[in-house]
């Protein structure tokens, strides 16, 4: 009788341990696969750039991340050279590029009423914010690029006027630490390419 109780207790303990590993591992007992879940942090930023197709100034305000099991964020981008205004309507993905860089994917509407998709890449490279990076690509959601910033860096971004650069760009990107208890969707979509 005592052996049966010990065996049952071991099974219960093992089931509890396996269940805990699944929860802590994000749904995978051993998450060694290539799929990567969105980070639990979030990013905010704003500023102005001149790395536009026309070379004219553009203003931007952007945010993105995960909260309470969903993607969240906003985008407001205005290229003063061609008058393009892109206003975000939803966030469809939030991606870790590296420890300082994040991509925000989403849907938006332009000032002409055209529904589009966007991908914004931002980098928080320290304080002051003029060390940071910003880039945007807007598509028709089927792969045709309608607009994109002219990149200063190979990752598709331009700087926000760091020391030693000739650009008058400015602004700040802030990568905020996430709450460890926060969680996001297992995956999302980027319909920009």
Q: What is the pTM of this model?
A: 0.77
Contact 143, 193 (CB under 8 A): yes
Contact 180, 26 (CB under 8 A): no
pLDDT in tens, 22-65: 333 333 222 222 335 678 899 999 999 988 998 899 999 999 99
- Between 30-39, 67-76, 93-102, 107-116, the lowest mean confidence (pLDDT) is in 30-39
DSSP string, 80-113: TTTTEEEEEEEEEEEEE-SSSEEEEEEEEEETTS
- CA-CA distance, 90 to 92, in Å (whole number)? 6
Q: Which residues contact 4 (CB under 8 A, 6 or more apart)?
A: none
- Between 80-84, 111-115, 161-165, the lowest mean confidence (pLDDT) is in 161-165
What is the predicted pLDDT for the residue at 56? 92
Q: Is 53 exposed, middle or buried (0-12, 13-18, 19+ CB in 10 A)?
A: middle
Kindly list the domain boundaries of the chain, sorted by start residue. 1-28, 42-176
């Amino acid at each position: 009788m005592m052996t049966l109780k010990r065996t049952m207790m071991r099974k219960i303990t093992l089931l509890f341990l396996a269940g805990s590993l699944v929860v802590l591992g994000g749904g995978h007992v051993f998450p060694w696969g290539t799929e990567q879940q969105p980070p639990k942090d979030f990013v905010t930023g704003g500023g102005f750039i001149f790395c536009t197709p026309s070379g004219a100034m553009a203003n931007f305000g952007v945010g993105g991340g995960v909260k309470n099991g969903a993607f969240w964020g906003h985008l407001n981008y205005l290229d003063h050279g061609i008058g393009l205004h892109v206003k975000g309507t939803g966030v469809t993905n939030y991606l870790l590029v590296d420890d300082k860089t994040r991509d925000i994917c989403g849907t938006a509407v332009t000032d002409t009423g055209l529904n589009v998709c966007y991908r914004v890449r931002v980098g928080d490279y320290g304080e002051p914010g003029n060390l940071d990076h910003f880039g945007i690509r807007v598509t028709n959601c089927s792969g045709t690029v309608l607009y994109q910033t002219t990149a200063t860096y190979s990752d598709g971004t331009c700087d926000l006027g760091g020391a030693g650069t000739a650009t008058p760009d400015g602004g700040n990107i802030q990568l905020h630490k996430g709450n460890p208890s926060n969680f996001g969707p297992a995956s999302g979509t980027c319909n920009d390419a």
